Amino acid sequence: MFKASKEGRDFESGILKIAISAVKNEEVNKGEELKDSDIETILRKEVKKIKDSIGQYKEMGREDLLKEEEKQLEVLEKYLPELMGEDEIKKVVEKKISDLEATSMRDMGKVMGAVMGELKGKADGGDVRKVVQELLS
């Protein structure tokens, strides 16, 4: 944030201030210093909020606001590790389905819980859900 501010990248500095504020608020709420995984979770929540806004702005036809949100998304994503692709997720889900002997959509909750426990922070929950539904149906 400080480097971006010193280099005159005010937009980037602004979005980073928002992210840091979200982290500080969580630290205050917990009353302890956060681990890297906690910070990553908070940043992913911020990314999700921005993606939700992007979807709403697209529906409303607000190109001006859409571009702003897309820039914010780009900045935050630079600071997060890359998420797993669908093929990688599919391998993990197939193994969990086999391990749990899941056979139908009734087992979706059990499979999702196991997969998300293993992939926490490594894969988007929506992508995992899509793969699980595809493999169980």
| Model pLDDT, residue 133 | 93
Same domain, 66 and 97: no
Local confidence band at 6 (pLDDT 50, 70, 90 cut-offs): low
Share of the chain above pLDDT 90, in %: 39
Same domain, 112 and 73: no
Share of the chain above pLDDT 70, in %: 93
Same domain, 126 and 67: no
Lowest mean pLDDT among 10-24, 67-81, 106-120: 10-24
**What CATH code is carried by the domain that includes residue 106?**
1.10.10.410
Number of domains within the chain: 2
DSSP secondary structure of 28-86 = HHHTSPPPHHHHHHHHHHHHHHHHHHHHHHHHHT-HHHHHHHHHHHHHHHTTSPPPPPH
| Model pLDDT, residue 129 | 93
- Rounded-to-integer distance, Cα 89 and Cα 120, Å: 12
- Residues 38-68 have pLDDT tens digits of 888 889 889 989 999 999 999 999 998 988 8
Same domain, 71 and 92: no
- Rounded-to-integer distance, Cα 47 and Cα 73, Å: 6
Domain that holds residue 23: 2-77
- Residues 19-33 have pLDDT tens digits of 889 999 999 998 888
